Amino acid sequence: MDFSPADAQPLMWITARPDLVFVEGRGSWLTDHRGKRYLDFVQGWAVNCLGHGHPAIVDALTTQAGKLINPSPAFYNEPSLKLARGLTEHSCFDRVFFASTGAEANEGAIKLARKWGKVHKGGAFEIVTFNGSFHGRTLATMSASGKPGWDTLFAPQVPGFPKATLNDLASVEALIGPDTVAVMLEPVQGEGGVVPASAEFLQALRRLTLERGLLLIVDEVQTGMGRIGTLFAHQHAGIEPDIMTLGKGIGGGVPLSALLAKEAVCCFEAGDQGGTYNGNPLMAAVGVAVLDTLTAPGFLAEVAALGDYLGAKLRELSDELGLNGERGQGLLRALLLADERGPAVVEAARNLAPEGLLLNAPRPHLLRFMPALNVTRNEIDRMIEQLRPLLAK
């Protein structure tokens, strides 16, 4: 394939992109239009939980495409029924609404919480969220996010999202008032720099919300579907939230997300929630294949072991080069640099030859690692070998 920057002119500009086109992917590897291979430790920002071209996903897509793609969400379809049943059987939730993106799922969670507040708490609508959080790119989910600078980007914001400090219960308590209906957080703040909420904080937050009659919403768009070694991240703390959102990994690379809730919270009426593509059988069939793969005996235990291995290798590298350590859970990790050269390292890694390395720097002082959940130890070792000389310079 021939490519020049002029070929991308019809695309709306939203960010700078390198002058390459990816044309093929297998497992942890991508190949560009020139034939160069790249070891992928981004995987579409934790989207491709089974890597590129996984046989179960390819088979689900091709088989379902030959049967039924979309009868409209006004009717039931077999894959969405099967996926909803599987998710409820493997979680503490009773009901599922399917959408296409994590932002849609989080928007739905906000709507559901506000509707519940209208019905059960005299119109309470405020949802306490956290500094450093990321919940999506719609106006409401951007307002809910605590990403620096977003409060003025598309002002005015949607009101009703006071910001607390992660792992600081007193900061949450200080924001609770008569208009508070819920607390919403990511178990691990991914875009915020891979900052985990401690198990003790999650447990205390669950107790506090129960005592105050508030809903607890966990945004597991990035952490859900096995990313940290359990099917859902909140399970590490042994808590049961009222609402959970899923995205990214649930579709293994295709646009699929989900809003899950306890029965007592489900108060939508006809017309309150919907979407042209919600629960379409083509995407839901992939979701079934992903869930079946993740819940197969031994799979999640191996993810946890791989996460420990990746964490140990990053700590060794940090100690060797005098960096500032690593943090995260499972296969969502960050390496803390000694300066703010993260973006430069990302570019240098991509430009390595003969094989490149794909990394992510959500903050200038750190690198984030989100490999496929079936990455191999050899591939982790290869990534460390490629990264070491870049950081040693």
In whole angstroms, what separates CA 100 from the centre of its chain? 13
Percent of the chain with pLDDT strictly greater than 70 = 100
Question: Is residue 4's pLDDT more than 90?
Answer: no
**CB–CB of 116/181 below 8 Å?**
yes
- Strand segments, DSSP code E, in the chain are 22-26, 29-32, 37-40, 95-99, 126-130, 163-164, 180-185, 188-189, 195-196, 215-220, 243-246, 257-261, 326-329, 332-336, 355-358, 366-369
State the average pLDDT over residues 132-160: 93
Judge contact between 371 and 332, C-beta under 8 A. Answer: no
> What are the pLDDT digits (tens) for 54-86?
999 999 999 999 999 999 999 999 999 999 999
| pLDDT digits 0-9 by tens, 200-224 | 999 999 999 999 999 999 999 999 9
pLDDT band for position 1 (cuts 50, 70, 90): confident
Q: Going by DSSP bridges, is the β-strand pair 243-246/180-185 parallel, antiparallel, or unpaired?
A: unpaired
Look at 106-120, 142-156, 171-185, 358-372 and tell me which has the smallest mean pLDDT: 142-156
Residues 14 and 29: their CA atoms lie apart, in Å, by 25
In terms of residues, how long is the chain?
393
pTM: 0.96
pLDDT of residue 188: 98
Q: Catalytic residues, which ones? A: 134, 219, 248
What's the pLDDT at 364? 96
pLDDT for 373: 98
Q: Where residue 360 falls among pLDDT bands split at 50, 70, 90?
A: very high
Q: In what helix (H) or strand (E) does residue 173 lie, and over which residues does it extend?
A: helix 169-173
What radius of gyration do the chain's Cα atoms show?
A: 21
Give the separation between CA 143 and CA 326, rounded to whole angstroms: 29
Across-strand partners of 19? none
**pLDDT for res 53:** 97
Residues 263, 265, 266: CA angle, nearest 5 degrees: 70
Distance, in Å, from the CA atom of 44 to the CA atom of 378, rounded to the nearest integer, reads 21
Residue type, 254: V
- pLDDT tens by residue, 310-324: 999 999 999 999 999
* Digit-coded pLDDT (tens) for 256-312: 999 999 999 999 999 999 999 999 999 999 999 999 999 999 999 999 999 999 999
CB-CB contact of 99 with 251 (8 Å) = no
Residue 150, pLDDT score: 86
Please state, in angstroms and rounded to a whole number, the distance separating the CA atoms of residues 362 and 369. Answer: 10
Which of these ranges, 115-124, 162-171, 270-279, has the smallest mean pLDDT? 270-279
Amino acid at 121: K
Question: 15-34: per-residue pLDDT in tens?
Answer: 889 999 999 999 999 999 99
Share of the chain above pLDDT 90, in %: 95
Write down the pLDDT at residue 264.
Answer: 97
Q: What is the mean pLDDT of residues 352-377?
A: 97
Q: What is the pLDDT of residues 188-200, one digit of tens each?
A: 999 999 999 999 9
